[in-house]
């Protein structure tokens, strides 16, 4: 049984067919990439699977159970974590609090525990704090623990976001353009971080990427999406050299010539 399975998923925005008969299987530990030109519907697919939108048709199964119609927080708590293209960190929380927040679903002290500051709350918050510091160490950002995120350099903020997603202890990790807006050095660094994450936590990774180089280095399998439809699927080299992909990225060869 695959870890994550998307079967014939389609989605309409009003009259516009944004995603058409999309299929995906993700085995444990596998790294799959999703490429495609701007506006192809890549982020829509992420939003559909993570529960922000509800697909018009089709089914999504996580470990064999359908997750269609669940709220995004419930899907995340089942082990599907994501990052965002524009990071979406919280302006007034410290770096450490970001990681602790991702462990929200694992807290069991309840409202009474929070209101009355019961020992159970202190124990769980302390554990959560220790865990947070561990994650920050792994990503090399522990020295920023008590800082607000707006004071962080871009690369560090990206790492914090990745650490936050992993604190959920996900089985599947969705990365939405993790290298967007990065210099080549930062990009190489990010590729290293993703490799590291994959080796250490062994989640299945599904990533959207614009840059073919990143995809080639990270992914075992790549899908190319154009106008909401997967036109080619295969290993990175095959997909990159496929004429249809080149056409989608660079335009019609005849026109170029």
Partner 1 sequence: MHPGDSPAREHGLRAALGRFFAPVPLMGWLLAVLTAVLLERHIGDALIDALGLPKIPVLFGVLVMLKKPALIPGSLAFTGLVYLIPVTLVARFTAPLTNGIAAALQRMPLMVSGLIHLGLLYLIFHLWTDVSDYRLITLKLMLIAVLVTLSINLINGYMGEFSCSHPGFMALGAYMASIFTVGLFTDDRLFGDAVFHTLLAPAFFPLGLFLGGCVAALGALIVAVPSFRTRGDYLAIISLAFMFIVKSLLENLEFAGGPRGLSGQPDWATLPAVFCVVVLGVWIMNNFVTSTMGKALNAVRDNESAAEAMTVDTRKTKMICFMFGAFWAGVAGGLFAHVLRYVAPATFGLTKLAEVLAMVYFGGLNSVWGSITGAVSISLLSEALRPLQILKWICIPLLLILVMIYRPRGIMAFKEFNPRKILAPRTGKAKGGTDAAA
Quick one: 23 or 73, whose CB is closer to partner 1? 73
Quick one: 74 or 250, whose CB is closer to partner 1? 74
* Residue 120 DSSP SS3: helix
Which position among 30, 50, 179, 240 is part of the footprint of partner 1 (CB under 8 A)?
Answer: 50
**Using N-to-C axis directions, what is the helix angle for 119-138 and 154-166, rounded to 10°?**
130
Q: Which helix (H) or strand (E) holds 191?
A: helix 184-201
42 binds partner 1 (CB under 8 A): no
Which position among 111, 255, 256, 257 is part of the footprint of partner 1 (CB under 8 A)?
Answer: 111
Token reading at 229? 């439809």
117 binds partner 1 (CB under 8 A): yes
Token reading at 228? 């909401």
Residues sharing a CB contact under 8 Å with residue 109, sequence separation 6 or more, in sequence order: 118, 120, 121, 124
141 binds partner 1 (CB under 8 A): no
Counting every residue written for the chain, the total comes to 257
114 binds partner 1 (CB under 8 A): yes
Q: How far is CA 121 from CA 49, 111, 113, 128, in A?
A: 33, 10, 6, 10
1 binds partner 1 (CB under 8 A): no
246 binds partner 1 (CB under 8 A): no
Which stretch, 116-124, 179-187, 211-219, 232-240, contacts partner 1 (CB under 8 A)?
Answer: 116-124
Q: How far is CA 227 from CA 22, 39, 68, 202, 221, in A?
A: 11, 7, 23, 32, 20
143 binds partner 1 (CB under 8 A): no
Which position among 15, 16, 91, 243 is part of the footprint of partner 1 (CB under 8 A)?
Answer: 91
Q: How far is CA 64 from CA 6, 44, 67, in A?
A: 11, 22, 9
Which position among 3, 62, 102, 208 is part of the footprint of partner 1 (CB under 8 A)?
Answer: 102
165 binds partner 1 (CB under 8 A): yes
Which position among 23, 73, 237, 238 is part of the footprint of partner 1 (CB under 8 A)?
Answer: 73
Distance in Å from the first CA to the final CA of the chain: 47
List the one residue out of 45, 43, 68 whose CA is nearest residue 58.
68
Which residues of this protein are in contact with partner 1, per CB under 8 A? Answer: 50, 52, 71-73, 76-77, 81-82, 84, 88-93, 97, 100-105, 107, 109, 111, 113-117, 121, 125, 128, 146, 164-165, 168
């Amino acid at each position: 049984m695959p870890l994550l399975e998307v079967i014939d998923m389609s989605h309409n925005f009003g009259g516009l067919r944004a995603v058409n008969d999309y299929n995906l299987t993700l085995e444990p530990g596998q790294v799959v990439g999703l490429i495609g030109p701007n506006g192809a519907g890549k982020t829509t697919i992420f939003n559909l699977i993570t529960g922000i939108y509800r697909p018009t048709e089709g089914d999504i199964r996580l470990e064999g159970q359908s997750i269609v119609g669940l709220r995004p927080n419930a899907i995340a708590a089942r082990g599907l974590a994501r990052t965002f293209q524009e990071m979406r960190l919280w302006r007034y929380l410290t770096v450490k609090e970001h990681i602790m927040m991702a462990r929200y679903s694992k807290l069991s002290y309840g409202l009474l525990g929070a209101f009355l500051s019961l020992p159970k709350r202190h124990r769980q918050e302390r554990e959560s704090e220790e865990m947070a510091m561990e994650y920050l160490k792994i990503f090399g950002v522990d020295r920023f623990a008590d800082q607000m995120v707006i004071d962080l350099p871009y690369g560090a903020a990206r790492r914090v976001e990745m650490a936050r997603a992993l604190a959920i202890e996900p089985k599947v990790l969705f990365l939405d353009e993790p290298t967007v807006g990065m210099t080549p050095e930062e990009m190489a660094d990010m590729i290293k971080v993703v490799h590291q994450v994959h080796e250490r936590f062994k989640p299945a990774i599904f990533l959207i990427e614009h840059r073919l180089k990143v995809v080639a280095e990270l992914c075992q399998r790549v899908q190319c999406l154009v106008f909401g439809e997967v036109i080619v699927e295969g290993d990175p080299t095959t997909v990159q050299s496929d004429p249809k992909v080149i056409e989608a990225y660079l335009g019609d060869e005849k026109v170029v010539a």
